[in-house]
Amino acid sequence: MVRHKAILLGITMLAVGISGARQAGAQTFQTYRCTDGTQFIVGLYDYDKRAFLQIDGEPVTLTKRLTVSGIRYAGAGITLTIGKTGTITVKHLKRPATACAVI
């Protein structure tokens, strides 16, 4: 089931790139698992300032926000932070921010 959702997310992201009439640049898809058990997939594109997540079985688009250190994306009650050292944290569903790692 998770595999099917990942495939669907990939197709959706590809459709967004095509419908935007832009050539797809380099993209990054990564799957993360957090210390609280949360697992999510994130897609990032060079030409886009948004992050595309699949978390809790739902697709979510986060917009890039200003931050002092690193990169932060937020939207729909979810905050994804990528620190300058490469640390990843996610905060969602009114839970505290939790550290995440690539799986």
CATH number, residue 16? 2.40.128.200
- Predicted TM-score of the model (pTM): 0.74
Structural domain containing residue 19: 2-102
Q: How high is the mean pLDDT of the chain?
A: 83
Measuring CA to CA, how many Å separate 90 from each of 3, 25, 49, 74, 97?
21, 25, 18, 10, 5
pLDDT tens sequence across 20-51:
444 456 788 999 999 999 999 999 999 999 99
- pLDDT at position 8 is 45
Q: How many domains does the chain have?
A: 1
- pLDDT at position 20 is 43
Would the pLDDT of 2 be above 90? no
